[in-house]
Amino acid sequence: MNFILKNKFTIIGVAVGAIGGYLYYHFVGCSSGTCAITSKPLNSTLYGALMGGLFFNILKK
């Protein structure tokens, strides 16, 4: 429980990034299927989660 309270801002960033990554796949995506990140929803969601977690982690003190 202490881990969650200590890193709640990063966890929120992971969730927001995952949602954003999936929405990017859904609305923009890759029509040819050759794009490394946006060709599959799992790749796009995981990449968004990673970027969201890193970004929100930078913002915390």
Query: Domain spans of the chain?
Result: 7-59
| pTM: predicted TM-score of the whole model, two decimal places | 0.88
The CA distance from 52 to 43, in Å, is 14
Pick from 36, 39, 43: which is nearest to 18 by CA?
A: 43
5-51 pLDDT tens trace: 999 999 999 999 999 999 999 999 888 878 988 889 999 999 999 99
DSSP 35: -
Q: Is 4 exposed, middle or buried (0-12, 13-18, 19+ CB in 10 A)?
A: exposed
